[in-house]
Amino acid sequence: MKIADTHTHLYFTSFDRDREKVVQRNKKSGVELEIQIGVDEVSSIAALELAKNYNHIYCTLGVHPCDVETCFSPNPDYIPRDFKKYKRKAHNFDELFQLFEHLTEQYPEKIVGFGETGFDLYHQNTPELLELQKNIFRRHIALAKKFGKPVVIHNRNSREQMIQFLEIEFDYKSSDSKVKGIIHCFSEDTEYAELMTQKYGFFLGIGGVATYPQSEKIREAIKATPIEFLLTETDAPFLTPQKAKQQHKRNESSFLPEVIQLIAELKKIPKKECSEILFSNAKKVFGIK
């Protein structure tokens, strides 16, 4: 079985003790493609390092919506072991996005998208925070347009805000350069899935959350969405799938067969065929040959 993990954070400190072992375990279970997702400067650099070290690993550069207020003074506890001495180059968003641009020119094969970006109004919901998240989201979209690569979109407690934002920023009628997008950790219903896939042509990242007992509406949305728009992802080390969760707190790409099994059942197709389609979707959206 060929497996793609389109959203993972293997550079997180919780993998410091056994990162290499995890990569090998993932490979053994069929993971032939991993996209490491950046959330600030250091993590984007760490994601790129992983991508440079392994043939089957690629990365994105970005600033997570939860990090827009703190990304120039990150908590040292979250910095991966090998990057404790890394000297940050950017002191503001202009410098940071310039750095992202330079890196993408340098490593166009390994940097396959921008993000994760988007909205997160779960911890805090103020007009100021939303404005800042919008501003940073726009910068990611500009890079995506410039390089013809997709944006990886995080969308938590912000369904209406996302609909309104896309309505204005993704006016495809007046724009010829369509930006591709991935709604990472898709957690909404059928109506929202339809809007994102049919109107914007976005892909939906499906991971552990879809396997949880309370996620019936997500499973209904998966059933209703053409498989061409679905991607597999872990968001490792978070969101371990239901069965793996009994034994493992930390998520990893090798647990993805549980997610593929679920999608295959919902789409009523054999697991192997399902995994092949999902794998080729991942290559397609990220432009990987």
Tell me how far, at minimum, the Cβ of 236 lies from Zn ion, in Å.
9
For Zn ion, which is the closer residue by CB, 120 or 235? Answer: 235
Q: Minimum CB separation from Zn ion for residue 172, in Å?
A: 26
How far apart are CB 40 and Zn ion at their closest, in Å?
12
C-alpha to C-alpha distance for 27 and 32, rounded to whole angstroms? 6
CB of 155 to Zn ion, least distance (A): 11
CA neighbours within 13 Å on the CB side: how many for 273?
A: 7
Shortest distance in whole angstroms from residue 34 CB to Zn ion = 13
Q: Comparing C-alpha atoms, which of 152, 8, 136, 116 is closest to residue 68? A: 136
Nearer to Zn ion, 38 or 257 (CB): 38
The footprint of Zn ion (CB under 5 A) covers 235
For Zn ion, the closer of residues 208 and 257 by Cβ is 208
CA distance 97 to 41: 9
Sheet holding 181-183, edge to edge: 3-8, 31-37, 57-61, 111-120, 151-156, 181-183, 203-206, 230-232
Residue closer to Zn ion by CB (options 67, 235) is: 235
For Zn ion, give the closer residue by CB, 49 or 235.
235
| Structure-block tokens of residue 172 | 């495809």
The DSSP symbol for 15 reads G
CB of 37 to Zn ion, least distance (A): 5
C-alpha to C-alpha distance for 262 and 203, rounded to whole angstroms? 18
Distance CA 62, CA 149 (A): 13
Which CB, 40 or 235, lies closer to Zn ion? 235
What is the rounded radius of gyration, in angstroms, for the C-alpha atoms of the chain? Answer: 18
Report cis status (omega within 30 of 0) of the bond before 257: no
In the complex, least distance from residue 38 CB atom to Zn ion, rounded to whole angstroms: 9
- Choice between 156 and 159, CB closer to Zn ion: 156
Among residues 223, 230, 222, 145, the alpha carbon closest in space to that of 183 is found at 230
Residue whose beta carbon is closest to Zn ion: 235
